Copies of this chain bind each other. A is one copy, B any other.
Amino acid sequence: MSIKIGILGYGNLGRGVECAVKHNPDMELVAVFTRRNPEDVKILTETAKVCHVDQAVSMKDEIDVLILCGGSATDLPVQTPEFAQHFNVVDSFDTHARIPEHFAAVDAAAKKGNHTAMISVGWDPGMFSLNRLYANAILPGGKDYTFWGKGVSQGHSDAVRRIEGVLDARQYTIPVESALEAVRNGENPELSTRQKHTREVFVVAEDGADKAKIEHEIKTMPNYFDEYDTTVHFITAEEMAASHAGLPHGGFVIRTGSTGWEDEHQHVVEYSLKLDSNPEFTSSVIVAYARAAYRMSLEGQTGCKTVFDVAPAYLSLQTPEELRAHML
């Protein structure tokens, strides 16, 4: 009997979840819920329905886990507590600073509804967080480094698009290779923001736009660019479509630390991701945690959970016996 999945919100992430469900033979997509007119939303899975979000709660008995694919700024703070009362849910809430309050709201709702709710699932927060935790627990005397990229930052791309004269923009975050090497070599460098990452921006400008002014506005934009070394390239709309259509991303979590009676031995633990598609990889993590949410709910482990609370075996298609025999 397969795990019945619902998707709420059908953007890049929702489509990624749909694809990930297809890759997991123990799962089945039942319905996609949308705020748009359902007739205007075309999905890939022939056996699944498209419904308006207002219908979701009435279908709660048909769905084992509802995956919330909205944004962290305004959608999830409302949706996750709302739907955790009626469904087991998974979200990818990624506003790190607001996780404690989001957790509290979702925990209360999930407990009220006797459901299991997983928040902040993806790769950062998510797999990167897990790797920080494991490496910190193993090497309590150590130092953490997280590098992101090379990859597209949608927030930074959006910020550039808001500049006057900009038709389209794509921003890549790039880790500084020499900083990465210094960390890997166990040099424990103190790195400023500028020393860790550079930013590269591709811009399609309006005809006759003042390119020098656009470049200046980008490079001096507070919070987004002013603390970084930024390179700006002006390209055509055709080049943007041909070479910058994807959403690649990735990064590195590294912890260096010492062991021994006098800290005489050094160790480097590194986790890295190289992703062709940020939303599809995030979705793939989410779907594995949907399996865990379903299993934990069957065991009565209700309330809000994060990746820190999930024993790894819950994520796997394999049985505990198979895992011990073949993967340990």
Contacts and interface: CB of A to CB of B under 8 A. Distances in A.
A268 B260 contact: no
Contact of A284 (B139, B275, B316): B139
A307 interface: yes
A142 to B, nearest CB: 10
Contacts of A105: none
A267 B276 contact: yes
A23 interface: yes
A143 to B, nearest CB: 14
Interface string A34-65: 00000000001000000000000000000000
A127 B133 contact: no
A22 interface: yes
Best-surrounded residue of A100, A137, A325 (most CB of chain B within 10 A):
A137
Nearest to A94: B328
Contacts of A100: 321, 324-325
A172 to B, nearest CB: 17
Contact of A260 (B19, B261, B309): B19
A129 interface: yes
Majority SS of interface residues in chain A?
helix
A130 interface: yes
Interface string A298-311: 00000000111111
Nearest to A184: B274
Contact of A272 (B265, B270, B275): B270
B259 A134 contact: no
B138 A134 contact: no
Contact of A312 (B44, B271, B285, B308): B308
A11 B120 CA distance: 43
A308 B44 CA distance: 34
A157 interface: no
A272 B184 CA distance: 11
A21 to B, nearest CB: 11
Interface size class of A (residues with CB under 8 A): 35 or more
A246 to B, nearest CB: 8
Interface string A267-299: 111111111110011011100100100000000
B281 A275 contact: no
A315 B137 contact: yes
A155 interface: no
Contacts of A280: 259-260, 265
Given A259-B283, A283-B259, A307 B312 contact: yes
Contacts of A189: none
Nearest to A291: B137
30 contacts: A16-B259, A23-B141, A44-B261, A96-B328, A99-B324, A99-B325, A100-B325, A130-B134, A130-B312, A133-B316, A134-B312, A136-B316, A136-B327, A137-B291, A137-B316, A184-B274, A259-B283, A267-B273, A267-B275, A267-B277, A267-B281, A268-B273, A268-B274, A270-B272, A270-B273, A271-B271, A271-B272, A272-B272, A307-B312, A308-B316
